[in-house]
Structure 1
């Protein structure tokens, strides 16, 4: 099948983008399965244009969609409101393609729906109504569509995201080496947090909980892996000040941005993987999926949205959001019960099989085939 995927933030780019990473992983997996895949992205793209996936960096140069949609039988628009500010013409594509002779079948993959803007409130129902079909990339999007646009829910299929961090071969065997390279104690309990550093990730709660934990587990260390965007550097400085005030700064290591294979090895240094989101854990969080995919004991927070995937005490350990003492107690409990932590890790790895890229690609391919048959 010939597939065109539209994503303005397709990597590599200066700034990390979860939707861009998702598009890269899915495009490459579809191509490995025999599909002919072209990615249309913005003119800021800085990578190769040929390879397993062809890349056309034409968004933003005024190019009409008809100039590039001929490369596909199916066109899949990766949608999050912030990706298309100033690119409102993207919302015309499903309708234009529907009435164009030989045009592609258009699918819209929704990663998020709303950002508070009027444009997003207008664009989402329009795209759902005019696309041949839609894909929801997580339970939050699915629930919002059912609640706000119930008449269009049947036009949408949920296919969760996968981890954009592949497990590095032999990563487990390098655990001691990675700890030594980072000047981390070989046998001390290590907590790892991974993801972009910005408000909402629960890092304030994590630091406060870590300070409480250190009163009981004196040699515990915390490793923060992930990039900080320029606009969030002030926020990170505030976290560093919090660490100083809580007297944990010497026990916190900031690893910063690292290549994917190195991130995988850093994750493997963890005794516990801690992602205490302010709004609770859901499968839209790529950082959560990364921990599951690495078979780590994941400690996170409860969401108000019931999940068909996350089961407290089975494949993840959950505590109330923004509750540092509850988080500290759970961390201490699991550090004191390595067999229980290992069982959680096995549950995480089993769940992650549902989010493997070959599974995601196969489900996506079936959606594409159905809409093409109806063309």
Structure 2
């Protein structure tokens, strides 16, 4: 089988690019010829490449949609118009929408969005009916829309008006890793892992840890937190200032430096060992209030996949579809933005560290079931089914 993959790919530093590379290599191991016609192509060159590429040489096109990117959506829509018989599928990483916004607003909104805030946000809201119409049009043309959770599939189907069976869930694949024993339970080591930028709730995590020490002073010295992950300049050093410096200043203000470790720009080969050197992961994500005006984001997280692969439980907010991801005895959730609730969850785990052992055992079972070879086999089965329907 030969397919075309439309997606960000490394060296781009995004979770979807990492996912797509594992997806590509795992399918290739099953004998699928995966072409990447838009790799390294951007802007106006994308349309030229779409026109030049021989689409008759592939049986199916699959795209990775999400992460605020619009190029893959526009490429799929071009294929819908110019090659309507070519089967199109996509993994939708941010349901209940496909892309949430248009690349270009219609006039006069395109002129008004240049004005100071909040005019750009108002323009996006005014253009949303058109955006939603275009998303639904493409979604209904897809032979299958894949989400990473059942929650995401239900929400996507409802919002996009899909037919029964058109949206399916295939869990986030993870690497096959050797089991790593939990370190000694004293001190208890918690880990935030992921790209470090605003909107991830990291400030909430620091504030919650400070609350734990205020309520349980005896835990100081027996509880540590590591902040680990990527710090892509365009995300960590934005117009609002240096976010890393802000986090360090907040940690100092909350008197946390003695129990806080930093592992920034973690190399890929060190991810697994870093996660397995800890007892549990903490993901304090918050829903975007801006996106909340347009719908409910019900995606998941690559960090959760890493936790399962490494056999580690998770304390996570109830943002996105995270509650579903830790509903199998591999962690617990708290109300997003509720710092006291997060502090409670950390305190309970610190006082009852055996829970980390139980979470780890369950996470390891889940990780084994979601290995990339198994996940790729599910995608291959789906692609073969779509191609049979197209005959």
Does the TM-score normalized on the shorter chain lie above 0.5? yes
Match of 1:124 in 2: 135
The answer to whether the Cα contact below 8 Å between 1:167 and 1:264 also exists between their aligned partners in 2 is: no
- Where do residues 136-155 of structure 1 align in structure 2 (5 Å cutoff)? 136-139=147-150, 141-152=152-163, 154-155=165-166
> By how many angstroms is 1:114 displaced?
3.7
Tell me how far 1:283 sits from its aligned partner: 5.9
Q: Distance in 2 between matches of 1:86 and 1:348?
A: 33
Match among 217, 220, 225 for residue 218 of structure 1: 220
1:118-165 Cα offsets, whole Å, 9 max, x none, are 4753432122122333222344542332332334454222222223xx
Report the aligned-residue RMSD.
3.1
Residues 18-67 of structure 1 deviation map (CA, whole Å, 9 limit, x = unaligned): 1111111111111111222222334269xxxxxxxxxxxx9637213561
Within the candidate set 246, 249, 252, 1:241 is matched to 249
Does 2:301 align with 1:285?
A: yes
One of 291, 310, 313 as aligned partner of 2:326: 310
C-alpha distance after superposition, 1:295-322 (max 9, x if no partner) = 112111224869555317x221222222
User: Per-residue deviation at 1:229?
Assistant: 2.5
Question: Given the alignment of the two structures, is residue 159 of structure 1 paired with residue 170 of structure 2, yes or no?
Answer: yes
For 1:96-115, list aligned pairs within 5 A: 96-99=82-85, 104-112=86-94, 113-115=98-100
Give me the TM-score of the superposition, normalised by structure 2.
0.78
3-state SS of the aligned residue for 1:64?
Answer: helix
* Count of equivalent residues: 344
C-alpha distance in structure 2 between counterparts of 1:167 and 1:71, whole Å? 32
2:143, 2:388 → 1: CA distance?
11
Of 51, 76, 101, which aligns to 2:62? 76
Per the alignment, in what secondary structure is the counterpart of residue 84 of structure 2? Answer: helix
1:173-322 paired onto structure 2 within 5 Å: 188-214=187-213, 215-219=217-221, 220-231=223-234, 232-233=236-237, 234-279=242-287, 284-303=300-319, 308-311=324-327, 314-322=329-337
Q: How far is 1:11 from its partner?
A: 0.8
Distance 1:114 1:60 in 2: 18
Secondary structure of 1:135's aligned partner:
strand
1:363 to 348, 353, 378: 378
1:133 alignment partner, one of 144, 168, 175: 144
Confirm or deny: 8 A CA contact 2:314 2:331 kept in the other structure.
yes
1:347–1:288 distance in 2 versus 1, CA, 3 Å: same
CA, structure 1 residues 86+76, in 2 after alignment: closer, same or farther (shift >3 Å)? closer
Instruction: For residue 364 of structure 1, give the secondary structure of its aligned residue in structure 2.
Output: helix
Q: Does 1:323 align with 2:323?
A: no
Q: Is the 8 A contact 1:206 1:324 kept in 2?
A: yes
Higher relative contact order (CA 8 A, sep 6+): 2
**Runs of 5+ unmatched residues, structure 1:** 46-57, 177-185
Displacement after TM superposition at 1:10 (Å): 0.8
Partner residue of 2:355? 340
CA contact (8 A) 1:139 1:282 kept: no
| Contact preservation (8 Å) 1:160, 1:284 | no
Counterparts in 2 of 1:147 and 1:120: CA distance versus 1, 3 Å: same
Q: CA deviation at 1:333?
A: 2.0
For 1:41, what is the secondary structure of its paired residue?
A: coil
Tell me the SS of whatever aligns to 2:316.
Answer: strand
Could you tell me which residue of structure 1 aligns to residue 27 of structure 2? Answer: 30
